[in-house]
Structure 1
Amino acid sequence: MKSRYEELKEKLYRLGDLSLGSIQKRMLTCGDPDCKCARGEKHGPYYYFTYTDPETGEPAQISLQESEVRELRKRIENYRDFKEDLKELLDLEVELRKG
């Protein structure tokens, strides 16, 4: 149990950058009645990073360049791994303290 505890601590230190949120991929219409999107061929894809604004607690979004999506996905995955591993680490710490 102690070796798993140390392994998790080390892993958490090496995770890298974290982001809390999600990526939305959208196909959009422009509103021009003569455009191809009015006939069902939408524009896009467009990518958005959605998150909860830490100051207001309200949902927020930021548009992304397609070139940013891959790195941001990795950061979001890192955050998910961090949460899972931190919970396991804290559970192990409680068990280790119980003896």
Structure 2
Amino acid sequence: MVVRKMSRYEELKEKTYKLGELSPGSIQERWLTCGNPDCKCAKGEKHGPYYYFAYPDRESGKTKQVSISEDVVSNLKSRIRNYEKFREKLWELVEIEVEMRKG
């Protein structure tokens, strides 16, 4: 049992290091109104989409966001997926390590 856990532990470590670039956060798509009463958006046809990257601020713990261009959305989505995979594998590593230390 310990050998199997150790093998899974090493496998997870290797996969974690191969994930590539990581970005914690999410992408938000927004459609906005400009406030001009003569604009098409005043009639319901909003401007957009505009993209924002929301991420946790290390110091405050609050969520911050920045506007991003459409051409970086695809790459950023990939980095966010990598980060989510990383977190899953990291927690599995922690669980295996705790089990190995127990017995």
TM-score over 0.5 for the pair:
yes
Q: Does 1:75 align with 2:79?
A: yes
Pairwise CA distance, 1:84: 0.8
Structure 2 distance, partners of 1:96, 1:58, is 35
Residues 34-63 of structure 1: per-residue CA shift (max 9 Å, x gap)? 010000001100000012222333321100
Name the SS for the 1:44 alignment partner. strand
Q: What residue in structure 2 maps to residue 52 of structure 1?
A: 56
Give the gaps of 5 or more residues in structure 1.
none
Q: Does 1:20 align with 2:20?
A: no
Cα 1:55/1:93, change in 2 over 3 Å: closer
User: Which of 8, 16, 21 in structure 2 is aligned with 1:4?
Assistant: 8
Q: Does 1:64 align with 2:68?
A: yes
Q: What residue in structure 2 maps to residue 96 of structure 1?
A: 100
Percent of matched pairs sharing the same residue: 64
> What is the TM-score normalised by the length of structure 1?
0.91
Residues 37-92 of structure 1: per-residue CA shift (max 9 Å, x gap)? 00000110000001222233332110011011111111111111111101111111
> What is the TM-score normalised by the length of structure 2?
0.88
Structure 1 distance, partners of 2:57, 2:78, is 20
Residues 16-47 of structure 1: per-residue CA shift (max 9 Å, x gap)? 11111111000001111101000000110000
Q: Number of matched residues? A: 99
Aligned-residue Cα RMSD (Å) equals 1.2
